[in-house]
Amino acid sequence: MKCVARPLLWPTCRERLGTNASFGLMEDNAPAHDSIFTNARREEEGIKKVDWPANSPDLNQIEHILMLMKSRIQTRRGHERMTSLPQMKLVLQEEWDKITIEEINKQVAKLPSIIAKYININKENNYHA
């Protein structure tokens, strides 16, 4: 975490805080994101962490982008064989590079309706977008 947070994450978060005082960092509950060390450093930087359900893939937009990639890769598998790790890495990189900002924005734009549905089911994490 030190290698990513100090040079990249903390400066970006401070920049966001400068333009939006209510900014909060959203992370999943991976051990590295919720360690005593990481939490202490984040607090030292003055960055609030968003309270996030422990298991909430529906609320994590990267999961939706990964599903898009998975669909594209499965389509490719019908046309070509991927039998080695280097081939798979190449295909993953190619499909990642094809994702457009419009596709990302489309997924992000769905978040308010997903959250509304999530709230309507009494915050039980069994809703799937």
The domain spans of the chain are 2-49, 57-120
- For the segment 20-32, the average pLDDT, to the nearest whole number, is 81
d(CA 92, CA 22): 36
pLDDT, tens digit (0-9, with 9 covering 90-100), for 49-73: 887 666 667 777 788 888 898 899 8
Structure tokens at 69: 């990639």
Compute the average pLDDT of residues 101-126: 79
- Name the percent of the chain lying above pLDDT 70: 85
What three-state secondary structure class fits 11? helix
Query: Model pTM?
Result: 0.50
Residue 87 phi/psi, 5-degree rounding, is -65, -45
Tokens of residue 112, six digits: 């308010």
Query: Quick check: 55 and 125 in contact, CB under 8 A?
Result: yes
The pLDDT of residue 94:
92
What burial class does residue 73 get, using C-beta atoms within 10 Å of its C-beta: 0-12 exposed, 13-18 middle, 19+ buried? middle
